Amino acid sequence: MGNNQTIQALIVLISALPLAAAVLTAVLGPRWLRRWSHVPALVAIFVSFLCSLGLIQQIRSDDAGTVSVGFEEICTLWTWASVEDAYTQESDSSTTSGETTTQETHDFTIDVTLRADALTSAMLAMVTFVSFLVVFFAAGYMRDDPGYWRFFSYVALFVFSMTMLVSVSNLLLLYVFWEAVGVCSYLLIGFWYQKSSAAAAGKKAFLVNRVGDFGFALALLLIWSTYGTLNFHDTPAGPDSDASGYAASPTLDTDHELRGILGQTRLQDDDFAGGAVGTAICLLLLIGACGKSAQFPLHVWLPDAMEGPTPVSALIHAATMVTAGVYMVVRFSPLFLAAPAALVVVAAIGGFTALLAGLIALTQNDLKRVLAYSTISQLGFMFLAVGTGSLAGITAGMFHLLTHAFFKALLFLGAGSVMHAMGNVIDMRQFGGLRRLMPITHWTFLIGCLALSGIFPLAGFWSKDAVLGAVHDKIHELEHQQQESEFSAGQPSTAAVMLVSEASRPDATHQEPSPASFLKIYKLLYWVAVAAAFLTAFYTGRAYFMTFWGPLRIPQEAGNHAHESPFVMTIPLSVLALCAAVVGVAFVGLDFERPLAEQLQTNYFAEYIAGTPSLACDMVQATTAPGGFHFSVAALSTFVALAGIGLSGFFYLRCRKDVEWWTALASSWGVYQLSFRKFFIDEVYTLLIVLPLQFVASVCYWFDNCLIDGLVNFCGRIPVWCGGVLRSLQMGFVPFYAMFMVLGMLVLIAARMLWAGG
């Protein structure tokens, strides 16, 4: 591994360049760069993209055979914070001479550390590539905005935060950049701050994310308390670890390695917290992931976030930031595998959200909101895939993340192109039949729609199939396990052997939930996913037909200069369309030597991702491998996709009378309103959380003003009052004074006696 230095330089450059661009644009933008404010960001992000390609090349060429757990390279920059001897835990080490209780003490040290591994590099390449195209597009889209430099400064800052998010190697720093992308999102959603709705949407996004971060922070605290470290990687303990010699705490030998949460040694030993603590950690992490990736019940901020400029929606709220939750779950998959109950929750939330968001998207009239709900739905697919907990599922989730980034960014930019032409109108009822007017936008949008629906051979087909296939495999695996357990119930001796061989985890024995209950859930989720795929195809087709077909209608706001967008906007669209078309096929390896049913056995992307240390450990590798292509699943998903598109064509290509009739019918049952008003989730939150908290706050204020301060003022009046009483005692009557003197003496003596006696 002689190329460590190259890798370290690359990983630092990838993040540092956008940061430099952000600072440069902020400093030079308002005075000097003005119309050229996009240049620093554009150049920096492009170079970052090249660097991340180089990084992938380096990691691929690296011979990972020397390590049993996947390749990783750690690059430490500076010490962020350090508190000596912060962690003390008594651990029973029963390895050598019997049970000896040793007190383990080590420092709390947070180094700013970057890591390079397969997962990181794949995310980096995706993020920088999409960012580059979006910045390219935005150079045209934001042309006449007074905040031109501000926009590109924020975007570059976001790219910096996002690249750091996927490359840091420490949980606390992950949290840091988790919030940093959140604040960039806040700034960009509220970019047009004069709009009250934009300002409110920004605040809402930040607060809902904060609720998610509440879970993340608790998970962080719990991990610190459980694992005693926040680093992902192993750190050799420093030579001065036992320098401060106060307190009788025998530190371990100096060359003892501090094992990271996802360090090589821990991965090799499969030493992850299971049971209640492990499940709690995973569920709390999941809350954080739900906040960032807009999963139920924290999905409410994403549709409102569409108030931001459309390139921002494409970049942050479709392709990159919202996938951070998926990234985190994948990164921590060994932890989740140790807590199977939490995995089921991940899958269930994913499946449920996919269906819920799909249902809401059916009736939305705002093109961007349809896409926003579609994003939530697709993220649900990713969570469902990752929630299977098999290598096939995790890689399928990442694969869907990648393809989704391309076609969803494409769709959003296409919507932006439409908005640009329609004078910022985005209500689909106000325009239509744009296919002649905007041919390039139309064709690229069509490719995006087909990819999203999962039509062969576009990108979405492959990734959605991988997701469904993974769930399918999981069901098979669980059925198999169930049969085995039924079979072995009669033969306890073999059962024990099988359990040992099946579950290599030492802590897998306690409270292992029965696969039977999981089996039902996964079976249900499979059909939920199929239904969601149908809905996806339907609402995508609906949006497409409403926008580009039917008679030509242009809103008044567009004036008479509605036109195809300039090249600076159509070029990124075309590039993304190309990617959305081929990125699926490109990663699928056809093996013609095999029979037809087994030809599609390898997925290069999945293979590459599986080299991540978190996934390359035995524990994950033991699960179902990726690549199994299921013709039955593919046929089913293609059928529902075609059905969905066909049905939407049936409704929206012809005259819309039918639609109105169906809408009226659905309205009469109340189903339509349920979907149109987003299942009233916002209203429920306002009613159940916001208003009660505000009420409690008012009560607290009243309490503060009247009771506490009143009590204080009452105490303040006591001396005045006492003075009044005492004044009346000062009457100059000597025997009265004498009597009080004696009384006082008696009290003192009594007090002294009581004190001594009691």
Partner 1 sequence: MEMPTLLVATLFLPLGGAIFLALAPGLSQRMSRMVALLVATVTLVMAVFLMQGFPGNLEAGEVFAEAGGSWLRIASGSDIQFRVGLDGLSLWLFGLSSLLMLTAVLVSWEAIVERAALFYSMLLLLECGCLGVFAAQDIILFYIFFEFTLIPLFFLIGIWGSEDRRYAAIKFFLFTFTGSVLTFLGLLALVGWVYHESGRLTFSIAELTTCLQEGPLPFSWQVAVFLALFAGFAIKVPLFPLHTWLPLAHVQAPTAGSVILAGVLLKIGTYGFIRFSLPMLPAASAAFMPWILGLALVGIIYGALVALVQRDIKRLIAYSSVSHLGFCMLGMFSLNRLGLSGSVLQMINHGISTGALFALVGMLYERYHTREISQLGGLTRRLPILTFFMLIFTMSSIGLPGLNGFTGEILVLLGVFQRAWMGAPAGYFKVLILIAVLSVFGVVLGAWYMLWLVQRVFFGPLKEPPRTTDEQTITDLNFREILALAPLSLMVLWIGLQPSFFLRHIDPFLAPVVSIVQQNIDNDDTEPDRIADHTSQVEVDNLRNRNAFSQGDS
Positions that interact with partner 1 (CB under 8 A): 78-90, 108, 172, 175-180, 183, 186, 190, 193-196, 198-200, 202-203, 206-207, 210-211, 213-214, 217-218, 221-222, 224-225, 244, 246-247, 693-694, 696-698, 700-701, 704, 708-709, 712, 716, 755-756, 758
Contact indicator for 279, 332 with CB cutoff of 8 Å: no
With CA atoms as reference, report the closest residue to 133 among 360, 534, 417: 417
At closest approach, how far in Å is the CB of 81 from partner 1? 4
DSSP 416-459: HHHHHHTTS--BGGG-B-TTTTSHHHHHHHHHHHHHHHT-TTSH
Task: Give 198 or 418: the residue with its C-beta nearer to partner 1.
Answer: 198
At closest approach, how far in Å is the CB of 405 from partner 1? 25
Contact indicator for 201, 304 with CB cutoff of 8 Å: yes
Residue 103 DSSP label: E
Contact indicator for 377, 454 with CB cutoff of 8 Å: no
Beta-carbon contacts of residue 142 (< 8 Å; ≥ 6 apart): 148, 151, 309, 311
At closest approach, how far in Å is the CB of 147 from partner 1? 10
At closest approach, how far in Å is the CB of 96 from partner 1? 22
Instruction: Identify the sign of the CA torsion 626, 632, 343, 583.
Output: positive
At closest approach, how far in Å is the CB of 148 from partner 1? 15
CB neighbour class for 200 (10 Å; exposed up to 12, middle 13-18, buried from 19): middle
With CA atoms as reference, report the closest residue to 80 among 61, 107, 98: 107
Measure the CA–CA gap between 311 and 286, rounded to whole angstroms.
Answer: 28
DSSP 412-425: HHHHHHHHHHTTS-
With CA atoms as reference, report the closest residue to 157 among 118, 195, 194, 183: 183
Task: Give 284 or 438: the residue with its C-beta nearer to partner 1.
Answer: 284
Token pair 């040290």 in the structure block, residue: 109
Measure the CA–CA gap between 649 and 637, rounded to whole angstroms.
Answer: 18
CB neighbour class for 314 (10 Å; exposed up to 12, middle 13-18, buried from 19): buried
At closest approach, how far in Å is the CB of 161 from partner 1? 9
Contact indicator for 395, 609 with CB cutoff of 8 Å: yes
At closest approach, how far in Å is the CB of 399 from partner 1? 30
Residue 690 DSSP label: I
Classify 74 as helix, strand or coil: strand
Task: Give 215 or 397: the residue with its C-beta nearer to partner 1.
Answer: 215
Contact indicator for 235, 255 with CB cutoff of 8 Å: no
At closest approach, how far in Å is the CB of 344 from partner 1? 24
Task: Give 282 or 434: the residue with its C-beta nearer to partner 1.
Answer: 282
Task: Give 30 or 649: the residue with its C-beta nearer to partner 1.
Answer: 30
Task: Give 716 or 744: the residue with its C-beta nearer to partner 1.
Answer: 716
With CA atoms as reference, report the closest residue to 431 among 367, 368, 380, 386: 367
Backbone angles phi, psi at 496, to 5 degrees: -60, -45
Beta-carbon contacts of residue 36 (< 8 Å; ≥ 6 apart): none
Task: Give 591 or 704: the residue with its C-beta nearer to partner 1.
Answer: 704
At closest approach, how far in Å is the CB of 648 from partner 1? 38
At closest approach, how far in Å is the CB of 210 from partner 1? 5
With CA atoms as reference, report the closest residue to 483 among 533, 519, 443: 519
At closest approach, how far in Å is the CB of 275 from partner 1? 11
Task: Give 178 or 327: the residue with its C-beta nearer to partner 1.
Answer: 178
Burial 129-141 (b: 16+ CB within 10 A, else e): bbbbbbbbbbbbb
Tokens, residue 291: 């906040």
Task: Give 164 or 367: the residue with its C-beta nearer to partner 1.
Answer: 164
At closest approach, how far in Å is the CB of 438 from partner 1? 33
Measure the CA–CA gap between 635 and 633, rounded to whole angstroms.
Answer: 5
Measure the CA–CA gap between 1 and 63, rounded to whole angstroms.
Answer: 8
Taking 3-state DSSP, the helix, strand and coil percentages for the chain, each rounded to the nearest 5, stand at 70, 5, 20
At closest approach, how far in Å is the CB of 685 from partner 1? 13
Measure the CA–CA gap between 719 and 299, rounded to whole angstroms.
Answer: 58
Task: Give 191 or 538: the residue with its C-beta nearer to partner 1.
Answer: 191
Contact indicator for 101, 91 with CB cutoff of 8 Å: yes
Specify the pairing of strand 257-258 against strand 588-589: unpaired
Task: Give 199 or 642: the residue with its C-beta nearer to partner 1.
Answer: 199
Task: Give 198 or 337: the residue with its C-beta nearer to partner 1.
Answer: 198
Task: Give 201 or 466: the residue with its C-beta nearer to partner 1.
Answer: 201
At closest approach, how far in Å is the CB of 103 from partner 1? 11
At closest approach, how far in Å is the CB of 157 from partner 1? 11
Distances (CA, A) of 356 to 106, 216, 313, 321, 441: 47, 24, 21, 21, 29
Distances (CA, A) of 271 to 93, 339, 398, 703: 14, 12, 25, 51
At closest approach, how far in Å is the CB of 222 from partner 1? 8
Contact indicator for 73, 8 with CB cutoff of 8 Å: yes
At closest approach, how far in Å is the CB of 306 from partner 1? 17
Task: Give 84 or 557: the residue with its C-beta nearer to partner 1.
Answer: 84
Task: Give 191 or 383: the residue with its C-beta nearer to partner 1.
Answer: 191
